Amino acid sequence: MVVKILSSGAGFSGIKYNENKVSIGSAQLMASENFGLLDMDSKTKTIPELESFFKAWSMAEKGTISKPQFHVAISCKGKETSGEELTRIAQEYIKKMGYQDNPYLIYFHSDTANNHVHIVSSRVNESGLKINDSFERRRSQAAMKEILAQDPEQEVGEQVKRALTYNFSTEAQFKLLLEKQGITVKRKEPQYQFIKYGAVNHQESNLKVDNKIKAYQEPSERIKQIKALFLKYKPALTPEKFSEFMREKFGVELVFHTAKGKDTAYGYTIIDHGQQQVLKGSQVLKLSDLLALAPKAGSLQAAAELLSTLAENNQLRYREFKQQLAHLCFELNPSGAVRLAGEEQVSLAISKDRMRQVLYNDRLYEANKFALATPAEAEIIRRVFHLKKEDRLNYQFSNDNNGREQAKTILSDKLNSLLATGKELVDIAKENHYAFAKNGGEVYLVDQKNYALYPVSELTHTKLNYTGISMIDANKPVYLGGKMEQSSGSFGELAAELISLLDPAEKDEQTQDNKRKNKRRIK
């Protein structure tokens, strides 16, 4: 089995490539996931519609990512693996690479000597943040090795065993639990067959499942609780957003059912993973009531209830806060103003102290992504992210010197190769998301993409020309309150704010430089 990550693009050319293959009969769309409740069947969608959906999804929180397409090919030797089996493998791969909650398409191609599938997705997640692509190709190969090393019989057996612990009232509900895990269920006499990766991997007595259904008792108290949650948090816009909110917040999954070739749902099932219950949607709330839009007053009440709930979590981050409100179609800015999407008027306000806390949690979270080995490195990160001295940062390489040395060697080889081409350091830094910081008498290179920093003296013996480089100076004392306390963002964004505070002349110079560029554009 061979997996290859194809070149990223500014658009989503992978859609046109695969759909054109479908149109001439040499490819087949095998899976279309996470395109929204009312747009489940992407077979009815045109190429421009699919491209527009992906582009809209891929708008990052901090601006547009230049190459948002994630395009992968997975191929087998000859014709030994079917399209269905390759699709199952592709879905396992998508999960291991962190794209399972993104919209994705899987196409099966059989027009070459080797059967293969193409995956098309977005590199931006639902929160508007880029999915981590550090050492992506290495992780991709490792993911495929893990998938191929799995024991299918053990895996499927455990999933069937887990499904049988749920309380369900129909055979269709039992099958649904397993179909959500990529398992096809067929009833034969005297046993059910459970198929995954193109083969029967487990069998279970029909009688065992039948007895489980006969023993079903309606969980009336739990139904009341879920109905109360539905009425309390039902969102103002799409049922899809509400579905996501219930799954993430309460572990309650909504599965909508559509007829083949139709976009509109005719019913839905509720899977309560926390209490291991499977319910017909009608046991809780009629589909028509669920799909109905709430009035503005209801939206405001739902948002107020959510704010009250979230206020109890002192570890909550700004991005999480913002995402939870987005499920109810509200927008949040760093000052604490909450607006209904599309409106200018402030609907609700969050206290300054609370906003300082969630923004601080966000900065601490981002800071702890960095692999640190020394107090000097930690001080640079602490300064950039404006953190308190009592908050301990993670020293990820303290017990992994081999890992640090390997990563440093790769970075060193790359930097020296780029310098050997004659490129200016400022251009290398911009293209590779490098930043530079001073602490004590040492200059450090900060690899923002891979969340690491190293002394420049350990990476290269070449004397570097720092002309045009905005140097972060961790030696300068500065009061970082006010604006920095209301900040949340990446290393690069916060570093730019810090530099402007440490050296106002630097900010003025950048402003003048931007003005000169704008004048040139006008001419």
- Give helix 352-367 / helix 375-384 axis angle, nearest 10°: 140
Longest dimension (CA), the chain: 81
Q: How confident is the model at residue 294 (pLDDT cuts 50, 70, 90)?
A: low
Q: Which SS3 state, helix, strand or coil, does residue 462 take?
A: coil
The region that residue 487 occupies, defined by phi over 0 for left and psi between -120 and 50 for alpha, beta otherwise, is beta
Burial (CB < 10 A; 0-12, 13-18, 19+), residue 482, is exposed
- Tell me which of 147-151, 186-190, 217-221, 341-345 is least confident: 341-345
Give the pLDDT score at 46. Answer: 79
Give the pLDDT score at 44. Answer: 58
H-helix or E-strand containing 2? strand 2-5
- CA separation for the pair 154, 309 (Å, rounded): 40
CB-based contacts of 488, cutoff 8 Å, min separation 6: 318, 319, 334, 359, 362, 363
Average pLDDT over residues 434-439: 90
Give the pLDDT score at 520. Answer: 43
- Tell me which of 195-209, 268-282, 391-405, 468-482 is least confident: 391-405
In 3D space, the residue among 263, 266, 265, 239 whose CA is nearest the CA of residue 253 turns out to be 239
Q: How confident is the model at residue 93 (pLDDT cuts 50, 70, 90)?
A: very high
Q: How confident is the model at residue 519 (pLDDT cuts 50, 70, 90)?
A: very low
Average pLDDT over residues 459-480: 82
Stronger pLDDT, 210 or 498, i.e. the higher one: 210
- CA separation for the pair 359, 367 (Å, rounded): 12
Average pLDDT over residues 22-37: 82
Supply the mean pLDDT for the chain: 81
- CA separation for the pair 173, 31 (Å, rounded): 21
Give the pLDDT score at 497. Answer: 56
- CA separation for the pair 44, 165 (Å, rounded): 38
pLDDT of 50 strictly over 50: yes
Give the pLDDT score at 194. Answer: 93
pLDDT of 63 strictly over 60: no
> In whole angstroms, how far apart are CA 491 and each of 300, 377, 509?
34, 14, 21
pLDDT of 489 strictly over 60: no
Instruction: Give the DSSP per-residue string, 40-99.
Output: --GGGS-HHHHHHHHHHHTEETTEE-S--EEEEEEE-STT-S-HHHHHHHHHHHHHHHT-
pLDDT of 122 strictly over 60: yes
The hierarchical CATH code for the domain 2-148 is: 3.30.930.30
pLDDT tens per residue, range 252-284: 999 988 887 776 788 999 999 989 999 999 999
pLDDT of 295 strictly over 80: no
pLDDT of 9 strictly over 60: yes
Instruction: Give the DSSP per-residue string, 299-358.
Output: HHHHHHHHHHHHTT-TT--HHHHHHHHHHTTEEE-TT-EEEETT--S--EE--HHHHHHH
* Phi and psi, residue 269, nearest 5°: -120, 145
Q: How confident is the model at residue 491 (pLDDT cuts 50, 70, 90)?
A: low
In 3D space, the residue among 100, 35, 518 whose CA is nearest the CA of residue 510 turns out to be 518
Could you state, in order of their start, the residue ranges of all structural domains in the chain?
2-148, 152-215, 220-291, 296-350, 365-507
Give the pLDDT score at 218. Answer: 95
